[in-house]
Structure 1
Amino acid sequence: MDVKKSLFDNLQNFFGFDNFKGDQESIITNILEGNNTFVIMPTGGGKSICYQLPALMSEGTAIVISPLIALMKNQVDQLRAFGGNDSIAHFLNSSLNKSEIIQVKSDLLSGQTKLLYVAPESLAKQDNIDFLKLIKISFVAVDEAHCISEWGHDFRPEYRKIRQVIGGLGDHIPIIALTATATPKVQQDIVKNLGMLEATLFKSSFNRPNLFYEIRPKRDITKEIIKYIKANTGKSGIIYCLSRKKVEEVAEALNLNGISALPYHAGLDPKVRAETQDRFLMEDAEVIVATIAFGMGIDKPDVRFVIHHDVPKSMEGYYQETGRAGRDGGEGVCITFYAQKDVDKLAKFMKDKPVAEREIGTQILKEVIDYAESGVCRRKQILHYFGENFNETGCNCMCDNCKKPKKQFDAEQHLSTVLKFIQNTGEKFDDLHLLNVFLGFETAQTIAYEHSKLPEFGLGKADGELMWKSIIRQAVLNNFLFKDIDNYGLLKLTKQGKDFIENPYGLKFILNELIESAADDDEDEVKHGSGALDNQLLLLLKDLRKKISKQKNVPPFVVFQDPSLEEMCTHYPVSSEELKQISGVGSGKAMKFGPPFIELIKKYVEDNDIERPIDLIIKTQANKSQMKVSIIQNIDRQIGLEDIANAKGITYEEILKEVESIVNSGTKLNLNYFIDEVIDDDRQDEVFDYFRAAESDSIDQALNELGDTDYTREEIQLMRIKFMSELGN
């Protein structure tokens, strides 16, 4: 039978596709011919079919080595759906019970199973090796093969033992290694470690033309993320955070602001993780907030945005994580928030690691910093990192740097100076040393090599650090220099660099605009009232408050207090939902007093053509404070305020402040059980009558009027809480 016809028939019958993508057909043919095959294909390029289809067409079972249980389950489910029976594909890992393992082995021995997914740890178990010797193996597919390399972003020591295990399973078993991210260094590690130096290499372009890349300074990050998602309602997205704690915080903040988000990290129960993944695939959740534990092999084609809350650990990681956006060829926006503080944290994590690992980690992180701080086309930088040359005109303004081009400068003289210095000093130094020399910084290295005596020392002071960083980075990016990563990242001259020294010519480089990082983003707290106060609106709101207070026969401050009105004059809430987000306004007050205020603000905004800074109105976790919930529950149980304060480890003054804040936000609390014990009825009536007629809710004024010898500050405050609760809520 014609192999080509058979290939297309199987592709159509099993997967429902009429045509292969890119190199798929050549790769599959190479595997069916029994050759070792190395596939480097970007996320979304269709790697899975490259081993799934030949496995279905070959005699025996293909072993697929995969690093994640979730990834295996996802692929096995898909194959079973395509194939129409459950025995066609199985996985063998720690999530199976004894009876399930017996069923898997039975299907394998009967020859019904065409693909068996295993983790490298499971593959190395002696009883599994002994069993696999009993079946015919068509070939072994090593998925996510970059895990083999210490230079890869997901290094897994178990991957380095795969070759040895395969050798023990039988002679001449073909291997196919697949990865979506591999720098030239990682490629070299993969073929060497798997013993497949003669493998046919299929390398697709790493360019994903539909992805838009952007780096933003890390300021008001929760607000920025919520603003972006609300402007893209209904679109699926992933937000990556470095820590589990931050994942939980961000997911909670999104949910508080009406965005359906789920957290995902390795600290969650495996069952919860699997459910979360399914809910995201089934679109029960709009956004997943995750550590990098999420996403490897996630086959969701319509992820529309990937946001990095924190700086990524490596360019490979960044490429693979951003690659989860727009896998269907549609919109894919990749936004990364960058702060020096994040870089410092990652550098700190590396301090305690062994020297070799620390050196590798430092160089990998440095590539991320260079990328984030550079003013050059993002796409050009990404592709250069993966050993691919790219002309930035092909970016089509699909990155922030091409969309808003940075300032350029004549680079001929500066580039000549850098290249000649590297040549004259024997190509023995990295970029940091070069910067120290040109900027005239005396360091242990400049002194030891006597470079502080050279004419180049300090000659770049007038141009500044930004200029020299731009020169060195773009000299590498434009192939005048290359970084020897096997050798501490030393800068070496390329043939193009040597030619330039001999025959220099005019050229322009881009001046990098270093991103300012936020002063402090730990709290991620969005402060209310950051806009300018609209005094004209404030007067109108105060008049309305006075009018309503007369109608309801309560003092104006019972309706809304001044800070709440002032916040309305910076945020312009025009719906009940927005009004609730103003401090001092809860559901109760929004319902009881809100409608006329909303109407007034809405009309004012329309009449004065005001652009509302609605993105500033962000609910924070504080609105859901455990302390407040617990206090309300304890008051419902009629527990004394001093006892609640003691239990919470706070003072009586602090508990009154908390209770008052709850009441002022519109929650009704019945404190009579406590007040009746500490203040007699006549004195209660006197204070109540005072507040009913008062223009202000000031405690100082009340003490002045009522006599501070008769009442304590705490008693007045307690009565003010009772008054506000009964009349205002």
Structure 2
Amino acid sequence: MLLKETQSKLLPTLKKYFGYDSFRDQQQLIVESVLLKKDNLVIMPTGGGKSICFQLPALLFEGVTLVISPLIALMKDQVDGLNANGITADFYNSSQEKFEQDAIFDKVVNKEIKLLYVAPESLSFLENILNETYFSCIAIDEAHCISSWGHDFRPSYQQLGFLKKLLPNTPIIALTATADKATRKDILEQLNIPKAAQFLSSFDRKNIELEVRPANDRVLQIIKFIRKKPSEAGIIYCLSRKSTEQLAEKLMQNGINAKAYHAGLNFIERTKAQEDFIYDKTQVVCATIAFGMGIDKSNVRWVIHYNMPKNIEGYYQEIGRCGRDGLDAKALLFHSYSDVIQLRKFMSGASNEEVQVAKLERMKQFSEATTCRRKILLSYFGELLSENCGNCDVCKNPPQVFNGTIIAQKALSVITRLNENEAIGTVIDVLRGAHNAAILDKGYDKLKSHGVGKEISWRDWQQYIIQLINQGYCEIAFHKNNALRLTQFSKKVLFENATVSLTKAVDIKEQQILQKEPKVTKAKKDTLFERLRKLRHQIALEENIPAYLVFSDATLKEMERARPMSESDLLEISGVGQRKLEVYGDEFIAEIINFMGDKKKKHKKKDTNLITYELYKEGFSIDEIAEKRDLKSTTIFSHLAKLYSDGKAIDIYKFVSNEEVEKVRLAKNELENPQALKPYFEYFNGEIEYFKIRLALTIIDSNS
């Protein structure tokens, strides 16, 4: 059991640093398990809140939490986000200068940071400090990279098993968004944490609409799609570097702000392409699959697959990069058989070629499916959905179905009699009563079910079984030579008379789709959301950080709905923590008040400043005024700054010294961005508080 003292800190810490009033799904259980120093494997969808599972415990541990992460860009994004929330974090990599690396070592030894991000390749450089004196926890992000069964295997991850031997008392938390059963087992074995607690969250991202289209006139379809979403950011995944460049060029020719991203660009070019997208300077990125891994850009509204992904894990991870804020998002996949042929060529000669080809076949089946696509996605990861999702193209335009219960019972019965040891081809041969060598050698011709489905063609049986897999009535065990296995739904069909709906088997052909010319939708000009979005963009430019690190789209939407006009109201908004309230609260409250109308705006602004002034003249202290007005003291100081600027009699030097004003004046001449408060705060290493910086700037501006 977690100590009561620690337990009582969880929700206040969550709100203060992350802005959330409550945990999602299994987050609290995972956080508590980490704090109890247990090993953990966390499978949670992209956007499900994996990072909080180790970032929050890091704030409560005495030492540093070491985070293993595969990409430098991923580390930088995570560290920027943590620093924006007031959490001390840094990253270490081989590209840094020696003095930078030495400074990071000092921060670890002196416990001046709570999290340190590092790539597995750089772990050897930390050997002098990699011990339990300094590190309290190890988080391994994108843990599927350790497994050859996984879709994104990286040999550098396979060395990580030494960590548990080196730091046996340090809890390890391995996290990934995409791991099937075989991959999960492999992760635990390779990390030497076989007894780790496993947390498997729902893979269902209900806010993402799924659609598959034939790959006819892809470019034209994409241009039409984007023109209907003129202010929404999106990613287009392509198979080759050449495709990314050609598509980006065509989009640019059609007035769409797009850039290409692939491994052929040099480091500076790749970094610029990625940062321009993160900072909302580029609307669309045409990229190979390397792009976006681990990037927490919450306002990506859509993902398009120009080419078919090589497996469902990759597809799921890539579409998960849109709609991370929980708002509506769209995933569009173009299906082409030529892509399948190309991908098979890429797989030829690979050490795990058989597994890769089987997973590609499963991806192809997903693309050609006539049943709810979300059911297929979830069943692939072992999560069974009983009802259709209603938010995919198949559900929105359902095909004609028939009662396929008897067909399903025959297929599942054969799988049972084969002891769940055979792949789809052998299952169909038994169903059809084949007498080939493989069937005779294994004695399958003697089975009671041999020939039970001989009236159905081999091709039709193939489609029916794929439909059963898609609906979760059976599954493919890729790590057991692609054998078909039963699921918990199978029993309902075999023994409980559950009805199974199938669609008639058809020839899968690419059909030309006819689309009406879409109306070009213009962004709404004067909604509160748009005003708050512009304010956020302005602040992001001033502070040189991505806009979503100020507040997410979901937080802005909630502000639009609730219209908070006081600090206590703003703090009720999900995503507004104590630090962001102090840094950005005034500006967002003012913008909301402005939106409420000119009369109300003038009355409100005059009222709030003058009320503070009257109380100040009566001799009340700042804390007393704040308490009387149910405001934070930082807001009262901002009122005094405004009153001082307006010529009111404020003894401003009671709150900020001459020496501090001079320090701010000198810093103003040195800083690249002297308009924002954050650069000053960082310049002074937090030694001069935000309210004093604000007051000093007010004095400087008034005297200039």
Q: TM-score range by the shorter chain?
A: 0.5 to 0.7
Give, in angstroms, the shift of residue 66 of structure 1.
0.5
CA–CA distance in structure 1, aligned partners of residues 46 and 495 of structure 2: 42
| Cα distance change on mapping 1:452 and 1:198 into 2, 3 Å | closer
CA–CA distance in structure 2, aligned partners of residues 174 and 92 of structure 1: 21
1:83 aligned counterpart, secondary structure: coil
CA–CA distance in structure 1, aligned partners of residues 145 and 503 of structure 2: 35
CA–CA distance in structure 1, aligned partners of residues 319 and 270 of structure 2: 21
Does the CA-based 8 Å contact 2:410-2:452 persist in structure 1? Answer: no
Superposed CA offset, 1:414-446 (max 9, x none)? 233333444555654321344466679997756
Matching of residue 300 in structure 1 with residue 297 in structure 2: yes
CA–CA distance in structure 2, aligned partners of residues 422 and 209 of structure 1: 32
1:22 aligned counterpart, secondary structure: coil
Superposed CA offset, 1:315-341 (max 9, x none)? 111111001111111121101011111
Tell me which amino acid in the other structure corresponds to 2:58.
A
Give the alignment partner of residue 146 of structure 2, picking from 145, 148, 155: 148
Superposed CA offset, 1:27-64 (max 9, x none)? 22221221212222111111112111211221111100
CA–CA distance in structure 2, aligned partners of residues 381 and 488 of structure 1: 20
What is the aligned partner in structure 2 of residue 660 from structure 1? Answer: none
Matched positions, count: 513
Does the CA-based 8 Å contact 1:37-1:175 persist in structure 2? Answer: yes
Tell me which amino acid in the other structure corresponds to 1:298.
I
What is the aligned partner in structure 2 of residue 685 from structure 1? Answer: none
**Counterparts of 1:304-343 in structure 2 under 5 Å?**
304-343=301-340
Superposed CA offset, 1:356-415 (max 9, x none)? x0111122112211211111101111111111111234x1x2001111111212213323
Give the alignment partner of residue 186 of structure 2, picking from 189, 207, 216: 189
Give, in angstroms, the shift of residue 183 of structure 1.
1.5
Does the CA-based 8 Å contact 1:374-1:470 persist in structure 2? Answer: no
Give, in angstroms, the shift of residue 81 of structure 1.
2.3
Does the CA-based 8 Å contact 2:74-2:294 persist in structure 1? Answer: yes
What is the aligned partner in structure 1 of residue 373 from structure 2? Answer: 378
CA–CA distance in structure 1, aligned partners of residues 202 and 407 of structure 2: 32
CA–CA distance in structure 1, aligned partners of residues 416 and 39 of structure 2: 41
| Cα distance change on mapping 1:121 and 1:443 into 2, 3 Å | farther
Matching of residue 290 in structure 1 with residue 287 in structure 2: yes
What is the aligned partner in structure 1 of residue 656 from structure 2? Answer: none
**Counterparts of 1:648-663 in structure 2 under 5 Å?**
none
| Cα distance change on mapping 1:458 and 1:252 into 2, 3 Å | farther
Superposed CA offset, 1:581-637 (max 9, x none)? xxxxxxxxxxxxxxxxxxxxxxxxxxxxxxxxxxxxxxxxxxxxxxxxxxxxxxxxx
Give the alignment partner of residue 487 of structure 1, picking from 466, 480, 484: 480
CA–CA distance in structure 1, aligned partners of residues 82 and 131 of structure 2: 24
Greater C-alpha radius of gyration:
1
2:51 aligned counterpart, secondary structure: helix
Superposed CA offset, 1:666-714 (max 9, x none)? xxxxxxxxxxxxxxxxxxxxxxxxxxxxxxxxxxxxxxxxxxxxxxxxx
Superposed CA offset, 1:454-494 (max 9, x none)? 99999978755664233212333455434332221122455
Tell me which amino acid in the other structure corresponds to 1:510.
T
Tell me which amino acid in the other structure corresponds to 2:43.
I
What is the aligned partner in structure 2 of residue 23 from structure 1? Answer: 26
Matching of residue 120 in structure 1 with residue 117 in structure 2: no
Quick check: 180-189 or 54-63, which moved more? 180-189
What is the aligned partner in structure 1 of residue 233 from structure 2? Answer: 236
What is the aligned partner in structure 2 of residue 41 from structure 1? Answer: 44
Normalised to the residue count of structure 2, the TM-score between the two structures is: 0.67
Quick check: 315-324 or 495-504, which moved more? 495-504
Give the alignment partner of residue 413 of structure 1, picking from 396, 406, 416: 406
What is the aligned partner in structure 2 of residue 470 from structure 1? Answer: 463
Does the CA-based 8 Å contact 1:439-1:457 persist in structure 2? Answer: yes
Superposed CA offset, 1:175-211 (max 9, x none)? 1111111212222222222222322222221111111
**Counterparts of 1:247-266 in structure 2 under 5 Å?**
247-266=244-263
Give, in angstroms, the shift of residue 504 of structure 1.
5.8
What is the aligned partner in structure 2 of residue 595 from structure 1? Answer: none
| Cα distance change on mapping 1:511 and 1:251 into 2, 3 Å | same
Long gaps (5+) in structure 2: 518-704
Give the alignment partner of residue 64 of structure 1, picking from 45, 64, 67: 67
CA–CA distance in structure 2, aligned partners of residues 209 and 497 of structure 1: 25
| Cα distance change on mapping 1:159 and 1:230 into 2, 3 Å | same
| Cα distance change on mapping 1:360 and 1:504 into 2, 3 Å | same
| Cα distance change on mapping 1:43 and 1:419 into 2, 3 Å | closer
Does the CA-based 8 Å contact 2:376-2:472 persist in structure 1? Answer: no
Identity between Structure 1 and Structure 2 (%): 41
Does the CA-based 8 Å contact 1:237-1:287 persist in structure 2? Answer: yes
CA–CA distance in structure 2, aligned partners of residues 391 and 358 of structure 1: 33
Structure number with the bigger relative contact order (C-alpha 8 A, sep ≥ 6) is 2
Matching of residue 199 in structure 1 with residue 228 in structure 2: no
| Cα distance change on mapping 1:83 and 1:493 into 2, 3 Å | closer
**Counterparts of 1:272-671 in structure 2 under 5 Å?**
272-354=269-351, 357-393=352-388, 395=389, 397-423=390-416, 427-435=420-428, 445=438, 463-464=456-457, 467-478=460-471, 480-493=473-486, 497=490, 500=493, 507-511=500-504, 515-517=508-510
1:344 aligned counterpart, secondary structure: helix
Tell me which amino acid in the other structure corresponds to 2:367.
A
CA–CA distance in structure 1, aligned partners of residues 435 and 302 of structure 2: 45
Tell me which amino acid in the other structure corresponds to 1:97.
E
| Cα distance change on mapping 1:225 and 1:479 into 2, 3 Å | closer
Normalised to the residue count of structure 1, the TM-score between the two structures is: 0.65
| Cα distance change on mapping 1:234 and 1:499 into 2, 3 Å | closer
CA–CA distance in structure 2, aligned partners of residues 35 and 483 of structure 1: 32
RMSD of equivalent CA atoms: 3.1
Superposed CA offset, 1:516-538 (max 9, x none)? 3489xxxxxxxxxx99xxxxxxx
